């Protein structure tokens, strides 16, 4: 699976993409993540990417040509068999959930378009397949939302989590059950103890306790 992230601020993404799980998944060839600098698609010798709004008002809007050219260029670089899904990160989009992440994990190529500052020319929306919001709050741009999508989808890809824990055990994996509580050493911390059952070595009882705890955390 491949992600292409179109952004004016590639440096915002380099840290998260080069650490921990995402780095390992990339190094192991489980996911391919490319970052595309929108500036390269800017208009004219100044590589202009934004402009003032028609009708007046504060701030600058992303121009349509650089964004649409970047999307089309990115699509043209893929193998003909790869179907690219284009997602625009915007607070006006559909709410992003674990179900969305699961759905996206079945795609072969996802292009994430990060908006920035005061917004973007309305006509850009006609060139995307899906508009997604990661919550009812406004960030300065789509980079952090894009990372939330990349991270939550990548960890669902086969082989990424590995080890004894799998994405199936997760909170939200079945849509409503939350995870059971977990503890590590020391077994006494500031007056709080680890439940006896977890120290018992009885795996049947431990499983039952965990299931009961997870059910108790069921929401609503």
Cα separation values, 95 from 24, 48, 145, 157, Å: 28, 31, 11, 21
93-122 positions binding ligand ADE, by CB under 6 A: 115
Does 135 bind ligand ADE (CB under 6 A)? Our answer is: yes
Give the CA distances from residue 191 to residues 184, 186, 187, 194, 209, in Å, rounded to whole numbers and listed in that order: 15, 11, 10, 10, 22
CB of 116 to ligand ADE, least distance (A): 8
Q: Find how far residue 39's CA is from the centre of its chain.
A: 22
Binding to ligand ADE, residues 163-202 (CB under 6 A)? none
Q: Which stretch binds ligand ADE (CB under 6 A): 137-145, 156-164, 171-179, 189-197?
A: 137-145
Does 66 bind ligand ADE (CB under 6 A)? Our answer is no
Of 26, 39, 155, 217, catalytic? 155
Shortest Å, Cβ 139 to ligand ADE = 4
List Cα–Cα distances, 179 to 84, 205, 207, 213, in angstroms: 34, 17, 12, 8
**Which residue in the set 84, 105, 133, 154 belongs to the binding site for ligand ADE (CB under 6 A)?**
133
Does residue 50 have an active-site annotation?
A: no
Give the shortest CB-217-to-ligand ADE separation in angstroms.
26
Q: Name which position in 137, 165, 188, 201 contacts ligand ADE (CB under 6 A).
A: 137
74 lies in the site for ligand ADE, by CB under 6 A: no
Find the catalytic residue in 91, 125, 181, 217: 91
**Among residues 10, 16, 91, 181, the one that binds ligand ADE under rule CB under 6 A:** 91
Which alpha helices (H) appear in the chain, and where do they start and end? Answer: 11-17, 20-27, 64-76, 98-104, 143-154, 196-199, 203-216
Length of the chain equals: 220
- Closest to ligand ADE by CB, 50 or 180: 50
Q: Could you please report the per-residue DSSP string of 137-195?
A: S--SBSHHHHHHHHHHHHTTSTTSS-SS--GGGSTTTTSSPPPPP---S-SEETTEE--
Active site residue 155: yes
CB-CB contact of 178 with 42 (8 Å): no
Q: Write out the residues near ligand ADE by the rule CB under 6 A.
A: 89-91, 115, 133-135, 137-139, 142, 145
Task: List the catalytic residues.
Answer: 91, 118, 155, 170
């Amino acid at each position: 699976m491949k992600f292409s992230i179109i952004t004016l601020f590639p440096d915002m993404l380099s840290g998260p993409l080069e650490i921990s799980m995402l780095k390992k998944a990339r190094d192991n060839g489980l996911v391919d993540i490319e970052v595309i600098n929108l500036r390269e698609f800017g208009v004219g010798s100044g590589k202009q990417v934004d402009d003032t709004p028609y009708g007046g008002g504060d701030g600058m809007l992303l121009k349509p040509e650089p964004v649409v050219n970047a999307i089309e260029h990115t699509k043209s670089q893929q193998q003909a068999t790869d179907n690219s899904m284009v997602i625009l990160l915007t607070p006006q989009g559909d709410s992003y959930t674990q179900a969305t992440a699961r759905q996206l994990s079945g795609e072969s190529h996802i292009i994430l378009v990060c908006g920035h500052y005061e917004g973007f020319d309305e006509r850009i929306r006609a060139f995307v397949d899906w508009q997604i919001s990661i919550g009812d709050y406004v960030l300065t741009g789509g980079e952090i939302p894009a990372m939330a999508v990349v991270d939550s989808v990548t960890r669902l890809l086969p082989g990424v989590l590995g080890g004894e824990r799998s994405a199936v055990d997760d909170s939200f994996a079945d849509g409503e059950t939350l995870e059971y509580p977990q503890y590590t050493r020391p077994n006494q911390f500031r007056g709080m103890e680890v439940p006896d059952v977890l120290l018992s070595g009885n795996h049947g009882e431990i499983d039952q306790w965990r299931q009961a705890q997870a059910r108790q955390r069921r929401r609503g």
